[in-house]
Amino acid sequence: MKRSALFLMLGCAAAVLADDAAERIRVNQIGYYPQGPKTAVVIDPASSAFSIVSETDGSVVYTGTLGPASVWSLSGENAAIADFSGFEGTGVFRVRVEGIGSSWPFEIGPHVHEAVAAAALKSYYYQRASMPLDEAWAGKWKRAAGHPDTTVWVHASAATETRPEKTVIRSPRGWYDAGDYNKYIVNSGITMWTLLAAVEHFPEYAAAFRTGIPESGNGIPDLLDEILWNLRWMLTMQDPDDGGVYHKCTNANFDGFVMPNQARSQRYVVQKSVTATLDFAAVMAQAARVLRAYDPALPGLADSCLFAAEDAWAWASGNPGLLYNQTAMNTAFDPDINTGAYGDGSAADEFDWAAAEMYLTTGEAGYLADADPFGNPDIRVPSWPNVATLGVVSLLMAAERAPTPGVDAASLKTRFLSYCDGLVRSRELSAYGVVMGSGSNDFVWGSNAVAANQALCLMVAHSLTDQADYLEAALSNLDYCLGRNATGYSFVTGHGDKTPMHIHHRQSGADGIADPVPGFLAGGPNPSQQDKKDGAVYSSNLPAKSYSDMQASYASNENCINWNAPLVYVLFGIEAALSETGLPSEARGVASRRAAPLAFHLEGNWPNPFNASTRVAYALDAPARVRLTVFDAAGRLIRTLDSGVKRQGRHETRFDASDLPTGVYFVRLQAGGRSTASRMLVLK
């Protein structure tokens, strides 16, 4: 055998052994905070010793002893925990276990989850209907516009005297719901609440956060800009004649795996339902509160949302039993509609949630008399058919900020915290040291959203109490989503060393690009395996390991807007709580923290307020045409600081703001038509 061939074989064998070691040592593949909890899970440990090793020079920087091993019945594994919370160094490291080897690398540092937060939020941009995704913002995942939805037919099930069957309406914008190209009001409901709640609960962090979307730097937070794309679609789904809301905007059947612009089936709005209408009312009431602060930039939109919410509430109150039943609808009307049903057997929780939001926005106690969002709340992990907890959280967070007459906030808080205390206890009893998996019923379709929503509740509990136990329990579920789980996957596409590559997502399957669209939280382990009949193959039936990274696995490997939303909320909350400033980092590339296309600093001016005379510094990774501009909070161009072709390397421009009135401003850097970054400045 040739020597080179022998070395090749030995190299491959070493790689296999390294991968096997990484599979047996489960870590958060993104990383940990210097002062935060840091744990890994070791499967079938060969010894009790472990160490933390620097990726830079291979030196051992920390040693420890594994905890006692125990079996996790949901995965059938013998697991021991390596706790290295006492190590507070920064850098890139691996966990090494005697007799096994080393884990995937991970980072320890401030802002460690910021790039994942940016990707998780930007996933909504990639899901936008009715617009092209330009290379400047989408990179290699650019695509043509799909589904203008300017010619949408009223389905026979939704026909009225004023809008008979096949009436043409416009219903553009919105997000594709999941791996398919349809748009659903019910699932938009919980998604929008969660993202709007992130704006309400973490306002400073949300205001400063940039993801690199076309609207970045327009004086409105990127998170809110993204929300507006779907909000304006939702407004088109309300019948202006009676206030009822169509259940969904959809094809008759699911599209194949083609790009959005190649999917041209007729689109319909179908039957109005009480659940869709109440979800709509709740979101519009909440949006009216949030948007009020942006009246100068969005004149009249808050009022429009409130009017729409009131009309929807009136329709739902007059039609409380009109639930969506797709089977019955298809029996009575043509054509048959066979896309996601989002059916629900009761609207009681939707009434409670909508009543809470309507009350908080209007102050009218009559909404609380019509529903009982705090009398005997069904507090559980939120999901689209179980939304009562959303109203509870809104009431509790509002009560923390100001008195809420008519609401027994103390009693409601006690019951909510009791639920969260149960989540904390489940973490303490878990062989993996995570909240997720307190029972096999956590592992359902979209189980990773269960983990994320458990963490959301815990973050709310932390906001209400400032108790570290809640924050640490929430972090444990973030660790779970990012690699410390029984599959060994970091479930966010594009982030981690072992991530889903074949998600059930039509664009990712049709665009000819090996990497899936980044930032999606895959559905996660689902022992029901409803997709086996359609070709999905699973290596295990155990609840915590029942996951398949293949396109056919819609039951475990699809993406969905309501799964990413709690991930965004939790990442914003944890970053705000544990990062050094409570704000996003000064210099973060919009795509990846480890491979930023440019750096952008406001030197000597962090945190705000900034000096009247400051320096704007930036660095380019390649020569590019640069435009450096200043905008006010309404998005109006104030001045251009610099423009022209710049060489690779560092550049600096002085900005004299002494002639500007006090207020909020944004400095925007555009480089080469592909990279944009903005920094918010508060001038006092």
Residue count (the chain): 684
Q: What is the mean pLDDT of residues 131-154?
A: 97
The candidate with the shortest Cα–Cα distance to 249, out of 53, 257, 235, is 235
Task: For residues 232 and 308, give the distance between their C-alpha atoms in angstroms, rounded to a whole number.
Answer: 12
Summarize pLDDT for 407-447 with one digit per residue, the tens.
Answer: 888 999 999 999 999 999 999 999 999 999 988 899 999 99
Contact 165, 154 (CB under 8 A): yes
CA 388 → CA 1, 310, 470, distances in Å?
69, 19, 21
Two tokens at 264? 């041209």
Specify the residue for token string 């400032």.
466
Q: Sorting pLDDT into bands at 50, 70 and 90, what band is 648?
A: low
Residue with the bigger pLDDT between 454 and 406: it is 454
Residue 534 annotated to the active site = no
pLDDT at 588: 41
Per cent of the chain over pLDDT 90 is: 77
Q: How many CA atoms lie within 13 A of 431 on its CB side?
A: 20
Task: For residues 559 and 553, give the distance between their C-alpha atoms in angstroms, rounded to a whole number.
Answer: 11
Residue 656 annotated to the active site = no
Summarize pLDDT for 290-332 with one digit per residue, the tens.
Answer: 999 999 999 999 999 999 999 999 999 999 999 999 999 999 9
Sheet holding 624-632, edge to edge: 637-646, 624-632, 663-671, 675-683
Helix (H, G, I), strand (E, B) or coil at 412: helix
Tell me whether domains 114-495+559-575 and 598-683 share a fold.
Answer: no
Out of 147, 201, 504, 505, the active site residue is 504
Per cent of the chain over pLDDT 70 is: 88
Residue 352 in this model has a pLDDT that exceeds 60: yes
Task: For residues 348 and 259, give the distance between their C-alpha atoms in angstroms, rounded to a whole number.
Answer: 39
The Cβ of residue 550 has, within 10 Å, a number of other Cβ atoms equal to 17
Residue 120 in this model has a pLDDT that exceeds 80: yes
Which sign does the torsion angle of CA 362, 367, 372, 377 carry? negative
pLDDT at 580: 77
pLDDT at 612: 65
Residue 473 in this model has a pLDDT that exceeds 50: yes
Task: For residues 163 and 171, give the distance between their C-alpha atoms in angstroms, rounded to a whole number.
Answer: 15
Contact 252, 328 (CB under 8 A): no
* Range list of H helices, 178-271: 185-201, 203-208, 222-236
pLDDT at 15: 40
CATH code 1.10.490.10 for 114-495+559-575: no
Q: Which residues are paired to 72 by β-bridges?
A: 77
Residue with the bigger pLDDT between 515 and 438: it is 515
8-state DSSP, 211: -
Residue 677 in this model has a pLDDT that exceeds 70: no
Q: Pairing mode, if any, of strands 106-108 and 31-32? A: parallel
Using CB atoms within 10 A of its CB, is residue 564 exposed (0-12), middle (13-18) or buried (19+)? Answer: buried
Residue 524 in this model has a pLDDT that exceeds 90: yes
Summarize pLDDT for 549-577 with one digit per residue, the tens.
Answer: 999 999 999 999 999 999 999 999 999 99
Instruction: List the chain domain ranges.
Output: 3-108, 114-495+559-575, 598-683
Q: What is the mean pLDDT of residues 596-610?
A: 49
8-state DSSP, 343: -
Helices 274-291/301-318 angle, 10° precision: 150
Cα 543 from chain centre: 24
CA 65 → CA 44, 68, 78, 239, 360, distances in Å?
14, 9, 16, 64, 51
Q: What is the mean pLDDT of residues 261-290?
A: 98
Task: For residues 417 and 413, give the distance between their C-alpha atoms in angstroms, rounded to a whole number.
Answer: 6
Q: Sorting pLDDT into bands at 50, 70 and 90, what band is 666?
A: confident
Out of 19, 370, 549, 642, the active site residue is 549
Out of 114, 149, 177, 180, the active site residue is 180
Q: Which CATH number is 3-108's, of 3.30.1020.10, 3.40.50.2000, 3.40.50.720, 2.60.40.10?
A: 2.60.40.10
Q: What is the mean pLDDT of residues 339-366?
A: 95
Two tokens at 413? 């808080």
| Single-letter residue type at 350 | E
Q: How would DSSP label each residue in 76-126?
A: TEEEEEEE-TT----EEEEEEETTTEE---EEESTTTTHHHHHHHHHHHHH
Q: Which are the contacts of 440, defined by CB distance < 8 A and separation ≥ 6?
A: 74, 527, 543
Cis link prior to 335 (omega < 30° from 0)? yes
pLDDT at 635: 64
Residue 243 in this model has a pLDDT that exceeds 60: yes
Cis link prior to 607 (omega < 30° from 0)? yes
Residue 9 in this model has a pLDDT that exceeds 60: no
Residue 165 annotated to the active site = no
Q: What is the mean pLDDT of residues 222-246?
A: 98
8-state DSSP, 312: H
Task: For residues 546 and 528, give the distance between their C-alpha atoms in angstroms, rounded to a whole number.
Answer: 9
Helix, strand, coil proportions of the chain in percent (round to 5)?
35, 20, 45
Mean pLDDT of the chain: 90
The candidate with the shortest Cα–Cα distance to 676, out of 634, 614, 611, 631, is 631
Residue 504 annotated to the active site = yes
Task: For residues 5 and 470, give the distance between their C-alpha atoms in angstroms, rounded to a whole number.
Answer: 54
Helices 185-201/274-291 angle, 10° precision: 20
Task: For residues 681 and 660, give the distance between their C-alpha atoms in angstroms, rounded to a whole number.
Answer: 12
Name the class of domain 598-683. mainly beta
Cα 227 from chain centre: 12
Q: How would DSSP label each residue in 243-268?
A: --BBSEEE-SS---S--GGG----EE
